[in-house]
């Protein structure tokens, strides 16, 4: 007799943070055990027997460890097979190896298990490659299905590519349970960390420290957490503390985001000058809802799902969004919308879907789209016969409407926040901008005199400028008066040219001066807008 409660406890003791997946797998095994114990003659008519389950998730999420621990905990005979190793260059060798996998292993002679056993198939997706009937992969898939139908074993397949698993493999009676492994909640990561730090009682017994590290490790998989612990240990070994773990977490990027190059500069709101009003709006409309979602739940108010930052080029839209991402200290995926478009039909939609999928696996996460107008223009304006733009817009809408249901399992947890940037908001499809999607609209204009003063003071305050120009001196007032129509980018360029002019006059110069007759850069630097109008 198999004790499913004991199996559950044994697996949880070795695999931390995956309680939901453990419960689902053990429940499926309980169905299998009951089905096999009854026998075909005692099952209700039309009831399909249970063959197994598929464990899916990103590499490093703990699929292999969970499957191996579960197989061991059942107490049944078990076997683990790496599916890529089944393929052989010999004629018929691959098929023979697959058949041998389903031969029940010898078990305990004194146990009465009625022929039940457990088979773990690692990377089962490789057996579902090509669907052409004349290929080895197609023959292997057909043979695998036949073996599962004839076997008495409980099959656990693992894959990092669940979309590659064909429907016939998932049908009832085969691998009809799909279990996704994901350390979505800080509490899950805390459990996993506690198990990994069992040898360091000073840390493992401190619940507050573990919770602090787990909360910061947004989107980390089990392998990422293991890497975090190893890095902290190598730095301080026996004297390792929770602060060492926090510092190590800052230097580790979630492995599922490693393929997405991070372009986010390390700027904060304090580095953004002249945009105090926009920053205040971001704090109240975006930062607070994302950092304190429970307050909005109590008021029965849904937090914003996205925001659009728009304004003329050079007004600081991208800089403001980067500062927001750094203030929130969550995973951020930067996507240049112009690079997501492809001439190949369906590839752009797939790229959008992949971005949202990666963001969901790294929650809480900000998905930042630069030049969003190039990706989702108004529908009906496309000149191509394939209506590529319309299909991309539809795909984007589906992803935005669906990410809340596919995000973290815990209610109220921050999920994916979409942040879009554009200089042409009038060309963006209106459906993207409605409430419930990009709810928050933050517009930036060319800076006023007061804003130009704040920008110049902030930039020059970080330069080795001559004494007196960073206060309300004649130089600052004159610069503000003479830079009407300049954007923040124009002003930054102006200050940069002033520094270069000082170096051209004297390479040993240590200060930027703005005295009368010395402000040479102003003579040939015009606002970018004026240059475009020429």
Domain containing 324 — which CATH number? 3.40.50.300
Secondary structure class of 67 (helix, strand, coil):
helix
pLDDT (average), residues 325-331:
83
Percent of residues, the chain, with pLDDT higher than 90: 30
DSSP 411-440: TT---EEEEEEES-GGGB-HHHHSTTSS-E
Q: Which of 401, 417, 443 is the last residue of a domain?
A: 443
Domain containing 521 — which CATH number? 1.10.8.60
What pLDDT sits at residue 452?
92
What pLDDT sits at residue 113?
61
Greater pLDDT, 298 or 250: 298
pLDDT (average), residues 340-360:
82
What pLDDT sits at residue 47?
45
Q: Which two tokens stand for residue 120?
A: 């773990």
Residue 449, pLDDT > 80, answer: yes
What pLDDT sits at residue 49?
62
Domain check: are 206 and 353 in the same one? no
At 311, the pLDDT band (50, 70, 90 cuts) reads: very high
Residue 404, pLDDT > 50, answer: no
Domain containing 197 — which CATH number? 1.10.8
Domain check: are 228 and 125 in the same one? no
Greater pLDDT, 409 or 314: 314
Domain check: are 146 and 82 in the same one? yes
Which of 16-20, 190-194, 206-210, 508-512 has the lowest average pLDDT? Answer: 508-512
* Domain contains 262: no
* Domain contains 138: yes
> What does DSSP assign to residue 15?
S
Q: Which of 155, 180, 205 is the last residue of a domain?
A: 180
Highest mean pLDDT (candidates 7-21, 120-134, 243-257): 7-21
Q: Which two tokens stand for residue 230?
A: 């190893």
DSSP 255-303: GGGTTS--------GGG--S-HHHHHHHIIIIIHHHH-HHHHHHTT-PP
At 520, the pLDDT band (50, 70, 90 cuts) reads: very low
**Global confidence as pTM:** 0.69
Peptide bond before residue 364 is cis, with ω within 30 degrees of 0 = yes
Domain check: are 456 and 438 in the same one? no
Domain check: are 367 and 222 in the same one? no
Q: Which two tokens stand for residue 169?
A: 């493999």
* Domain contains 257: no
pLDDT (average), residues 147-154:
88
Number of domains in the chain: 4
What pLDDT sits at residue 428?
93
Residue 413, pLDDT > 60, answer: no
Domain that holds residue 499: 449-533
What pLDDT sits at residue 473?
60
Summary mean pLDDT of the chain? 81
Domain check: are 244 and 373 in the same one? no
- CA 53 vs. chain centroid, Å, equals 25
What pLDDT sits at residue 262?
56
* Domain contains 259: no
At 122, the pLDDT band (50, 70, 90 cuts) reads: very high
What pLDDT sits at residue 203?
67
Domain check: are 112 and 209 in the same one? no
Strands (E), 173-250: 177-180
What pLDDT sits at residue 534?
37
Highest mean pLDDT (candidates 285-294, 411-420, 454-463): 454-463
Which of 278-292, 341-355, 428-442, 466-480 has the lowest average pLDDT? Answer: 466-480
Which of 9-18, 42-51, 420-429 has the lowest average pLDDT? Answer: 42-51
pLDDT (average), residues 509-528:
56
Cα separation of the two ends of the chain: 86
What pLDDT sits at residue 517?
42
Residue whose token pair is 């004629």: 91
pLDDT digits (tens, 9 = 90+) for 165-217: 988 898 888 898 999 998 777 888 888 988 888 877 666 567 777 888 887 78
Helix (H) or strand (E) holding 333, with range, is strand 331-336
Q: What's the CA gap between 302 and 230, in Å, rounded?
A: 39
Residue 45, pLDDT > 80, answer: no
pLDDT (average), residues 465-489:
73
What pLDDT sits at residue 408?
39
Report H helices in 301-415.
317-328, 337-340, 347-360, 372-375, 388-402
Q: Which of 443, 478, 511 is the last residue of a domain?
A: 443
Report whether 343 contacts 394 (CB < 8 A): no
Q: Which two tokens stand for residue 332?
A: 């951020």
Which of 137-141, 185-189, 383-387, 447-451 has the lowest average pLDDT? Answer: 383-387
Highest mean pLDDT (candidates 167-176, 327-336, 444-453, 519-528): 444-453
* Domain contains 261: no
* Domain contains 258: no
* Domain contains 110: yes
> What does DSSP assign to residue 238?
G
pLDDT digits (tens, 9 = 90+) for 364-376: 788 999 999 999 9
* Domain contains 263: no
What pLDDT sits at residue 213?
83
Domain check: are 138 and 22 in the same one? yes
Which of 21-35, 97-111, 164-178 has the lowest average pLDDT? Answer: 97-111
Domain check: are 208 and 134 in the same one? no
Greater pLDDT, 31 or 261: 31
Domain check: are 226 and 302 in the same one? no
Greater pLDDT, 386 or 139: 139
Domain check: are 282 and 418 in the same one? yes
What pLDDT sits at residue 477?
82
Percent of residues, the chain, with pLDDT higher than 70: 82
Q: What's the CA gap between 359 and 236, in Å, rounded?
A: 33
What pLDDT sits at residue 524?
46
Domain check: are 388 and 332 in the same one? yes
pLDDT (average), residues 512-528:
53
pLDDT digits (tens, 9 = 90+) for 260-299: 555 677 889 999 999 999 999 999 888 888 778 778 778 8
Q: What's the CA gap between 227 and 215, in Å, rounded?
A: 16
Report whether 60 contacts 96 (CB < 8 A): no
What pLDDT sits at residue 467?
47
């Amino acid at each position: 007799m198999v004790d499913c409660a004991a199996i559950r406890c044994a697996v949880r003791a070795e695999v931390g943070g995956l309680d939901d997946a453990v419960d689902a797998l053990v429940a499926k095994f309980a169905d299998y055990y009951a089905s096999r114990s009854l026998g075909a003659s005692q099952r209700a008519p039309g009831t399909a027997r249970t063959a197994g389950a598929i464990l899916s998730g990103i590499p490093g999420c703990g699929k292999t460890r969970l499957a191996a621990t579960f197989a061991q905990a059942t107490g049944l005979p078990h076997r683990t097979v790496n599916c890529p190793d089944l393929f052989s260059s010999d004629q018929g060798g691959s098929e023979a190896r697959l058949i041998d996998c389903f031969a029940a292993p010898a078990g305990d002679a004194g146990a009465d298990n009625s022929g039940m056993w457990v088979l773990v198939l690692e990377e089962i997706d490789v057996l579902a490659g090509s669907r052409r009937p004349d290929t080895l992969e197609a023959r292997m898939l057909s043979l695998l299905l036949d073996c599962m139908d004839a076997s008495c074993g409980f099959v656990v397949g693992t894959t990092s590519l669940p979309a590659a698993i064909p429907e016939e493999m998932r049908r009832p009676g085969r691998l009809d349970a799909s279990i996704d492994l994901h350390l979505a909640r800080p509490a899950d990561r805390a459990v996993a960390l506690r198990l990994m730090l069992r040898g360091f009682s000073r840390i493992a017994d401190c619940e507050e420290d573990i919770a602090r590290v787990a909360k910061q490790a947004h989107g980390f998989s089990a392998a990422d957490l293991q890497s975090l612990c190893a890095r902290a240990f190598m730095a301080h070994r026996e004297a390792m503390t929770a602060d060492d773990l926090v510092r190590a977490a800052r230097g580790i990027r979630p492995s599922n985001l490693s393929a997405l190059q991070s372009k986010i500069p390390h700027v904060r709101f304090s580095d953004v000058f002249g945009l105090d009003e926009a920053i205040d709006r971001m704090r109240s409309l975006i930062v607070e809802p994302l950092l304190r979602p429970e307050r909005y739940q109590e008021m029965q108010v849904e937090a914003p799902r996205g925001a659009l930052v728009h304004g003329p080029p050079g007004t600081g839209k991208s800089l403001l969004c980067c500062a927001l991402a750094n203030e929130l200290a969550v995973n951020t995926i930067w996507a240049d919308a112009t690079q997501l478009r492809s001439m190949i039909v369906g590839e752009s939609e797939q790229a959008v879907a992949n971005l949202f999928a990666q963001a969901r696996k790294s929650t809480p996460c900000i998905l930042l789209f630069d030049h969003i107008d190039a990706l989702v223009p108004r529908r009906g304006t496309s000149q191509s016969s394939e209506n590529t733009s319309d299909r991309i817009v539809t795909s984007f809408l589906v992803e935005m409407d669906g990410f809340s249901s596919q995000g973290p399992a815990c209610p109220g947890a921050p999920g994916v926040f979409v942040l879009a940037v554009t200089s042409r908001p009038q060309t963006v499809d209106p459906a993207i901008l409605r409430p419930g999607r990009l709810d928050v609209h933050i517009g930036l204009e060319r800076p006023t005199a007061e804003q130009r003063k704040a920008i110049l003071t902030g930039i020059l305050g970080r330069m080795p400028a001559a004494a007196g120009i960073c206060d309300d001196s004649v130089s600052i007032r004159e610069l503000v008066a003479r830079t009407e129509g300049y954007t923040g980018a124009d002003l930054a360029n102006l200050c940069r040219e002033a520094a270069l002019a000082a170096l051209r006059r004297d390479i040993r110069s240590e200060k930027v001066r703005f005295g009368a007759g010395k402000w040479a850069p102003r003579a040939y630097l015009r606002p970018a807008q004026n240059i475009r109008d020429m």
